[in-house]
Amino acid sequence: MTNQLEKQFFDTFGIKPEIFTGCKLEKNNWKEDTCPFEKDGIMELCHKVCKYAFTEREIYPQITDRILLELICILSCWHLDEREPYEITSINIEQLKNQILSDSLYIAKHAKAKHKVRILFGENND
């Protein structure tokens, strides 16, 4: 689930979510992440069973540990260019992730840094 800071991060860097349209059939009725009728391609049956209860949701890219490390490298290089070290003040992984995402917002105004971050998420055309 994407929190507000992550949405702001993706929006700032121009990384668009994928739009998923799926049924709202209760998840505990299926074994996987998608409606079994959708998965089998029997959309008409899905419409009947779910009574047209479809929803759209945005799915943002996952922020993996590798991406967090790459972001730290980008931030560290950027801070060195500014002649100050990048300091990590977080005490747990969730705080670290939030610090990195928040700090990254400040470098988005620089085209080179923005381009590097977009490449991490497979978005290399500005």
Q: Where are the beta strands (DSSP E) in 1-126?
A: 18-23, 54-59
pLDDT at 52: 47
Q: Which amino acid is at 38?
A: E
The predicted pLDDT at position 32 comes to 58
The whole-number pLDDT of residue 38 equals: 56
At residue 9, the pLDDT reads 95
What is the reported pLDDT for 34? 57
Write out the chain's pLDDT in tens, 126 residues: 678 999 999 999 999 888 766 655 555 554 555 555 555 555 555 555 555 455 666 788 889 999 999 999 888 887 766 667 778 887 888 899 999 999 999 888 888 889 999 999 888 665
The residues spanned by each domain of the chain are 4-15+62-120, 18-59
Distances in Å between the Cα of 96 and the Cα atoms of 33, 40, 58, 68, 116 are: 29, 41, 24, 9, 20
Q: Are 54 and 24 in contact (CB under 8 A)?
A: yes
